[in-house]
Chains A and B, each alone.
Chain A
Amino acid sequence: GAVVSQHPSRVICKSGTSVKIECRSLDFQATTMFWYRQFPKKSLMLMATSNEGSKATYEQGVEKDKFLINHASLTLSTLTVTSAHPEDSSFYICSAGRGSPEQYFGPGTRLTVT
Protein backbone atom coordinates (compact mmCIF):
# COMPACT_ATOMS: atom_id res chain seq x y z
CA GLY A 1 0.00 0.00 0.00
CA ALA A 2 0.83 3.73 0.09
CA VAL A 3 1.17 4.40 -3.61
CA VAL A 4 1.36 7.96 -4.88
CA SER A 5 1.04 8.85 -8.54
CA GLN A 6 1.87 12.00 -10.42
CA HIS A 7 0.65 13.16 -13.77
CA PRO A 8 2.11 14.01 -16.15
CA SER A 9 5.54 12.44 -15.80
CA ARG A 10 6.99 14.84 -18.33
CA VAL A 11 5.71 18.07 -19.76
CA ILE A 12 7.15 20.63 -22.15
CA CYS A 13 5.45 23.98 -22.35
CA LYS A 14 6.08 27.35 -23.87
CA SER A 15 7.14 30.33 -21.83
CA GLY A 16 4.14 32.25 -20.52
CA THR A 17 1.76 29.31 -20.36
CA SER A 18 0.53 27.53 -17.24
CA VAL A 19 1.04 23.90 -16.37
CA LYS A 20 -0.89 21.76 -13.90
CA ILE A 21 0.62 18.77 -12.15
CA GLU A 22 -1.56 16.29 -10.31
CA CYS A 23 -0.59 14.24 -7.28
CA ARG A 24 -2.83 11.40 -6.15
CA SER A 25 -2.65 8.97 -3.27
CA LEU A 26 -4.06 5.81 -4.82
CA ASP A 27 -4.73 3.52 -1.91
CA PHE A 28 -4.88 5.73 1.15
CA GLN A 29 -6.22 9.05 2.29
CA ALA A 30 -3.48 11.60 2.68
CA THR A 31 -3.84 13.95 5.59
CA THR A 32 -1.10 16.14 4.21
CA MET A 33 0.58 16.51 0.85
CA PHE A 34 3.91 18.14 0.15
CA TRP A 35 5.38 19.65 -2.99
CA TYR A 36 9.13 19.64 -3.61
CA ARG A 37 11.37 20.95 -6.30
CA GLN A 38 14.62 19.26 -7.23
CA PHE A 39 17.38 20.64 -9.44
CA PRO A 40 19.71 18.24 -11.26
CA LYS A 41 21.91 16.30 -8.88
CA LYS A 42 20.65 18.38 -5.98
CA SER A 43 18.53 17.77 -2.94
CA LEU A 44 14.81 18.29 -2.58
CA MET A 45 13.58 21.73 -1.64
CA LEU A 46 10.20 21.87 0.07
CA MET A 47 7.95 24.35 -1.68
CA ALA A 48 4.70 24.03 0.23
CA THR A 49 2.59 21.89 2.51
CA SER A 50 -1.07 21.39 1.77
CA ASN A 51 -3.92 20.01 3.81
CA GLU A 52 -7.26 19.06 2.34
CA GLY A 53 -9.72 21.91 2.34
CA SER A 54 -7.35 24.58 3.57
CA LYS A 55 -4.83 26.95 2.04
CA ALA A 56 -1.36 25.67 1.42
CA THR A 57 1.52 26.80 3.59
CA TYR A 58 4.39 28.01 1.44
CA GLU A 59 8.04 27.97 2.37
CA GLN A 60 9.97 31.18 2.51
CA GLY A 61 10.92 32.42 -0.91
CA VAL A 62 8.28 30.42 -2.79
CA GLU A 63 5.81 32.65 -4.63
CA LYS A 64 2.29 31.48 -3.86
CA ASP A 65 0.84 33.34 -6.83
CA LYS A 66 3.33 31.63 -9.10
CA PHE A 67 2.88 28.13 -7.74
CA LEU A 68 -0.81 27.58 -7.06
CA ILE A 69 -1.65 24.60 -4.93
CA ASN A 70 -5.10 23.14 -4.57
CA HIS A 71 -5.87 20.25 -2.28
CA ALA A 72 -9.41 19.41 -3.25
CA SER A 73 -9.73 16.03 -1.60
CA LEU A 74 -7.89 13.62 0.66
CA THR A 75 -6.47 11.89 -2.38
CA LEU A 76 -5.69 14.72 -4.79
CA SER A 77 -3.48 17.78 -4.73
CA THR A 78 -2.54 19.88 -7.74
CA LEU A 79 0.33 22.25 -8.40
CA THR A 80 -0.13 24.83 -11.14
CA VAL A 81 2.92 26.67 -12.37
CA THR A 82 1.52 29.91 -13.73
CA SER A 83 3.12 31.97 -16.47
CA ALA A 84 5.99 29.54 -16.65
CA HIS A 85 9.48 30.71 -17.52
CA PRO A 86 12.58 28.71 -18.44
CA GLU A 87 13.91 29.09 -14.89
CA ASP A 88 10.88 27.15 -13.67
CA SER A 89 12.19 24.11 -15.51
CA SER A 90 12.82 21.50 -12.87
CA PHE A 91 11.80 18.15 -11.42
CA TYR A 92 8.72 18.52 -9.22
CA ILE A 93 7.94 15.80 -6.72
CA CYS A 94 4.95 15.42 -4.46
CA SER A 95 4.64 13.32 -1.36
CA ALA A 96 1.78 12.33 0.87
CA GLY A 97 1.61 11.67 4.57
CA ARG A 98 -1.00 9.74 6.46
CA GLY A 99 -0.17 10.65 10.00
CA SER A 100 2.92 8.49 10.34
CA PRO A 101 6.40 10.05 10.05
CA GLU A 102 7.12 8.47 6.67
CA GLN A 103 6.21 10.27 3.50
CA TYR A 104 5.24 8.46 0.33
CA PHE A 105 6.60 10.02 -2.81
CA GLY A 106 5.26 10.26 -6.29
CA PRO A 107 7.52 9.44 -9.25
CA GLY A 108 8.02 13.10 -10.09
CA THR A 109 7.23 15.37 -13.02
CA ARG A 110 9.92 16.82 -15.23
CA LEU A 111 8.90 20.25 -16.44
CA THR A 112 10.73 21.89 -19.31
CA VAL A 113 9.78 25.43 -20.27
CA THR A 114 10.97 26.54 -23.69
Chain B
Amino acid sequence: SQQGEEDPQALSIQEGENATMNCSYKTSINNLQWYRQNSGRGLVHLILIRSNEREKHSGRLRVTLDTSKKSSSLLITASRAADTASYFCATEGFGNEKLTFGTGTRLTIIP
Protein backbone atom coordinates (compact mmCIF):
# COMPACT_ATOMS: atom_id res chain seq x y z
CA SER B 1 0.00 0.00 0.00
CA GLN B 2 1.17 3.52 -0.63
CA GLN B 3 2.42 5.24 2.44
CA GLY B 4 2.74 8.70 1.01
CA GLU B 5 -0.03 10.97 -0.03
CA GLU B 6 0.74 14.01 -2.05
CA ASP B 7 -1.24 17.10 -2.72
CA PRO B 8 -2.23 18.58 -4.90
CA GLN B 9 -2.67 15.72 -7.35
CA ALA B 10 -2.28 18.20 -10.17
CA LEU B 11 -1.00 21.76 -10.31
CA SER B 12 -0.88 24.22 -13.19
CA ILE B 13 0.94 27.52 -12.83
CA GLN B 14 2.36 30.23 -15.03
CA GLU B 15 6.01 30.17 -15.91
CA GLY B 16 8.01 32.18 -13.41
CA GLU B 17 5.71 31.43 -10.49
CA ASN B 18 6.66 29.20 -7.58
CA ALA B 19 5.26 25.69 -7.27
CA THR B 20 4.71 23.99 -3.93
CA MET B 21 3.92 20.31 -3.50
CA ASN B 22 3.23 18.54 -0.23
CA CYS B 23 3.77 14.99 0.91
CA SER B 24 2.52 13.21 4.01
CA TYR B 25 3.58 9.82 5.29
CA LYS B 26 2.57 7.49 8.06
CA THR B 27 5.53 5.75 9.69
CA SER B 28 8.98 6.70 10.99
CA ILE B 29 11.52 7.35 8.29
CA ASN B 30 15.26 7.42 7.84
CA ASN B 31 15.06 9.90 5.01
CA LEU B 32 12.67 11.35 2.47
CA GLN B 33 13.51 11.84 -1.18
CA TRP B 34 11.91 13.70 -4.04
CA TYR B 35 11.97 12.38 -7.58
CA ARG B 36 10.83 13.75 -10.88
CA GLN B 37 9.33 11.76 -13.74
CA ASN B 38 8.78 13.01 -17.24
CA SER B 39 5.89 11.36 -19.04
CA GLY B 40 6.63 7.75 -19.92
CA ARG B 41 10.15 7.89 -18.55
CA GLY B 42 12.09 6.74 -15.52
CA LEU B 43 12.56 8.75 -12.36
CA VAL B 44 15.30 11.22 -11.64
CA HIS B 45 16.48 11.84 -8.10
CA LEU B 46 16.15 15.49 -7.11
CA ILE B 47 16.96 15.87 -3.46
CA LEU B 48 17.19 13.91 -0.22
CA ILE B 49 16.46 15.15 3.27
CA ARG B 50 17.37 13.12 6.32
CA SER B 51 15.09 12.68 9.30
CA ASN B 52 17.27 14.95 11.45
CA GLU B 53 17.17 17.77 8.91
CA ARG B 54 14.44 20.37 8.60
CA GLU B 55 15.26 22.15 5.39
CA LYS B 56 17.47 21.66 2.39
CA HIS B 57 18.19 23.62 -0.76
CA SER B 58 19.46 22.63 -4.17
CA GLY B 59 19.40 25.25 -6.89
CA ARG B 60 15.78 26.29 -7.37
CA LEU B 61 14.55 23.49 -5.11
CA ARG B 62 13.75 23.86 -1.45
CA VAL B 63 12.61 20.92 0.64
CA THR B 64 11.28 21.01 4.16
CA LEU B 65 10.62 18.13 6.52
CA ASP B 66 8.46 18.15 9.63
CA THR B 67 8.79 14.78 11.31
CA SER B 68 6.30 15.71 14.03
CA LYS B 69 3.63 16.17 11.37
CA LYS B 70 5.08 13.47 9.13
CA SER B 71 5.06 15.82 6.18
CA SER B 72 7.38 17.35 3.63
CA SER B 73 7.10 20.03 1.01
CA LEU B 74 8.93 20.67 -2.23
CA LEU B 75 9.15 24.22 -3.49
CA ILE B 76 10.31 24.97 -7.02
CA THR B 77 11.05 28.64 -7.44
CA ALA B 78 10.93 30.63 -10.67
CA SER B 79 9.34 27.75 -12.55
CA ARG B 80 10.20 27.00 -16.15
CA ALA B 81 8.31 25.15 -18.86
CA ALA B 82 10.90 22.38 -18.60
CA ASP B 83 9.81 21.75 -15.00
CA THR B 84 6.60 20.21 -16.33
CA ALA B 85 6.63 16.65 -14.98
CA SER B 86 5.28 14.45 -12.22
CA TYR B 87 6.93 14.78 -8.83
CA PHE B 88 6.99 12.00 -6.27
CA CYS B 89 8.11 11.88 -2.69
CA ALA B 90 9.55 8.62 -1.44
CA THR B 91 10.37 7.57 2.08
CA GLU B 92 13.05 5.16 3.22
CA GLY B 93 12.60 3.36 6.49
CA PHE B 94 15.28 1.92 8.72
CA GLY B 95 17.16 -1.27 8.04
CA ASN B 96 16.63 -1.58 4.31
CA GLU B 97 16.89 0.43 1.12
CA LYS B 98 13.26 0.11 0.14
CA LEU B 99 11.48 3.25 -0.97
CA THR B 100 7.77 3.82 -0.54
CA PHE B 101 6.44 6.29 -3.06
CA GLY B 102 3.75 8.87 -2.68
CA THR B 103 0.90 9.30 -5.10
CA GLY B 104 2.61 12.08 -7.02
CA THR B 105 1.82 15.59 -8.18
CA ARG B 106 1.48 16.35 -11.88
CA LEU B 107 2.94 19.79 -12.42
CA THR B 108 2.24 21.75 -15.58
CA ILE B 109 4.06 25.00 -16.24
CA ILE B 110 2.22 27.24 -18.66
CA PRO B 111 4.58 29.27 -20.86
Cβ-closest chain B residue relative to A46: B98
Cβ-closest chain B residue relative to A32: B97
Partner of B31, one of A4, A6, A97, A101: A101
Q: How far is the CA of A104 from the CA of B44 in the complex (A)?
A: 7
B45 within 8 Å of A (CB atoms): yes
Interface residues of A in 92-114 (CB under 8 A from B): 93, 95, 97, 101-108, 110
Q: How far is the CA of A60 from the CA of B103 in the complex (A)?
A: 19
A49 within 8 Å of B (CB atoms): yes
Does the CB pair A44–B98 fall under 8 Å? no
Residues of chain B within 8 A (CB-CB) of A102 are: 33, 45, 48
A45, A91, A97, A102: most-surrounded residue (chain B CB, <10 A): A102
Residues of chain A within 8 A (CB-CB) of B78 are: none
B88 within 8 Å of A (CB atoms): yes
Query: Could you tell me the distance in whole angstroms from the C-beta of A4 to the nearest C-beta in chain B?
Result: 8
Interface residues of B in 35-86 (CB under 8 A from A): 35, 40-45, 48
Cβ-closest chain A residue relative to B4: A43
Residues of chain B within 8 A (CB-CB) of A97 are: 97
Does the CB pair A107–B31 fall under 8 Å? no
Q: How far is the CA of A91 from the CA of B37 in the complex (A)?
A: 13
Does the CB pair A93–B42 fall under 8 Å? yes
Does the CB pair A108–B97 fall under 8 Å? no
Binding site for A on B (CB under 8 A): 2, 4, 30-31, 33, 35, 40-45, 48, 88, 92, 96-104, 106
Can you give 27 A-B contacts (C-beta < 8 A)? Answer: A34-B97, A34-B98, A34-B99, A41-B106, A42-B104, A43-B4, A43-B103, A43-B104, A44-B88, A45-B101, A46-B98, A46-B99, A46-B100, A46-B101, A93-B42, A93-B43, A95-B42, A95-B43, A101-B48, A101-B97, A102-B48, A103-B97, A106-B42, A107-B42, A108-B40, A108-B41, A110-B40
